[in-house]
A = this chain, B = another copy of it.
Amino acid sequence: KNHPLTGYRKSCWYEEEIEENLRWSFALNSILHTAATQYQDIALLDTKPFGKALVIDGKLQSAEVDEFIYHECLVHPALLHHSNAKSIFIMGGGEGSTAREILRHKNVEKLVMCDIDEEVVEFCKSYLTVNREAFCDPIMELIINDARAELENRKECFDVIIGDLADPIEGGPCYKLYTKSFYEFTIKPRLNPGGIFVTQAGPAGIFSHTEVFSCIYNTLRQVFKYVVPYSAHIPSYADTWGWVMASDSPLALSPEEIDLRMKQRIKGENRYLDGKTFSSASTLSKAVRNSLDNETEVYTEATASKFGWGMM
């Protein structure tokens, strides 16, 4: 009954509030799957600008066309800076992409992925075809548990521990996995000598880096001797993202050394990261660098209990 129009506009949209006053919207091809787990709501969307997109609790987690930036940055710097990373522990990572990148390293012999939400893991296993192989890899041991509980109960140590968790926000379920005491008394004891810890560290843009990035960095430098923050722009996030790598052994490779180790150790070709890219990513801009240098806040259990999470 209505007017037929030629050249009408796209009519189905995914919309996200990046912050209260800022919105980001993608035209949709379809809504592929939705589910509600015990912990969160989950959806797999087919978006026009960024391909398939995994959305949890109304926030984009990962988009098909550019998740490689996030996952290459999370995984490869730590594994490459380690002299010979054989055993890896992932906190979170239920999507499977972190495991997928780890499994490209020829020297990895043991991989434990510990995510609390079984249904999200099942959802991703079923629908994210790009990670299907990783989920089936015999090296990968999948554990459904709270990452802290799991690390505390385990006896063995790891060469690299990777934090692929939600940001440490007030009232959030992951806050306690970013505190000084957690790093000191849970992470460090589970690292082998020469071991490296790396964590995603939230938005790292010129303004947004003060939300959690600078504080994660400052918390880690209370605990580890060598701490390297780095960042990369991820289009589907509409922001620059940050990671922090930490160790008690030096973390210093030249771009050329990185390129060489990549060639020796990694199956296939990276799409985003190489030696020069990491060199650029770990040279922060003046504003962010100064802000990190001057950060004084530390995530502590005390702060956590202020938020009501201390008892958990």
- With both beta carbons as reference points, the residue of chain B lying nearest to A10 in the complex is identified as B21
Of residues 160 to 185 in A, which have CB atoms within 8 Å of B's CB atoms? Answer: 164-167, 169, 172-174
Contact A59 B4 (CB under 8 A): yes
Name the B residues within 8 Å of A281 (CB-CB): 280, 285
* Nearest CB in chain B to that of A58: its residue: B8
Partner of A2, one of B34, B49, B167: B167
A100 to chain B, nearest CB (A): 16
In A1-17, the 8 Å CB interface with B consists of 1-6, 8-17
Q: Chain B residues near A283 (CB, 8 Å)?
A: 276-277, 279-280, 283
For chain A residues 30-76, which have a beta carbon within 8 Å of chain B?
A: 30-31, 34, 40, 43, 45, 47-49, 55-62, 65-66, 69-70
On whether the beta carbons of A206 and B280 are closer than 8 Å, the reply is no
Cβ 8 A contact of A16, one of B11, B49, B279 = B11
Q: A271 on the interface (CB 8 Å rule)?
A: yes
* Contact residues on A (Cβ < 8 Å of other chain), bracket: 35 or more
Q: How many copies of this kind of chain does the complex include? A: 4
Least distance between A35 CB and chain B CB atoms (Å): 12
A70 and chain B: residue at smallest CB distance: B1
* Nearest-Cβ distance from residue A9 to partner chain B, whole angstroms: 6
Cβ of A270 < 8 Å from any Cβ of B? yes
User: Is A238's CB within 8 Å of the partner chain B?
Assistant: yes
CB distance from A267 to the nearest CB of B (A): 17
- A31 in contact with B28 (CB, 8 Å): yes
A24 at the interface (CB under 8 A from B): yes
Q: Which residues of B contact A208 (CB under 8 A)?
A: 235
The answer, yes or no, to whether A155 is at the interface (CB within 8 Å) is no
| A115 interfacial by beta-carbon distance below 8 Å | no
**A280–B58 alpha-carbon span in the complex (Å):** 33
Within the complex, what minimum Cβ distance (angstroms) separates A16 from chain B? 6
* Residue of chain B at shortest CB distance from A59: B2
Alpha-carbon gap, A45 to B30, bound state (A): 10
A27 within 8 A of B: yes
Identify 10 residue pairs between A and B in the complex whose beta-carbon atoms are under 8 Å apart, listed by A's number. Answer: A5-B57, A23-B26, A24-B24, A66-B206, A233-B239, A235-B239, A271-B286, A279-B283, A280-B285, A283-B283
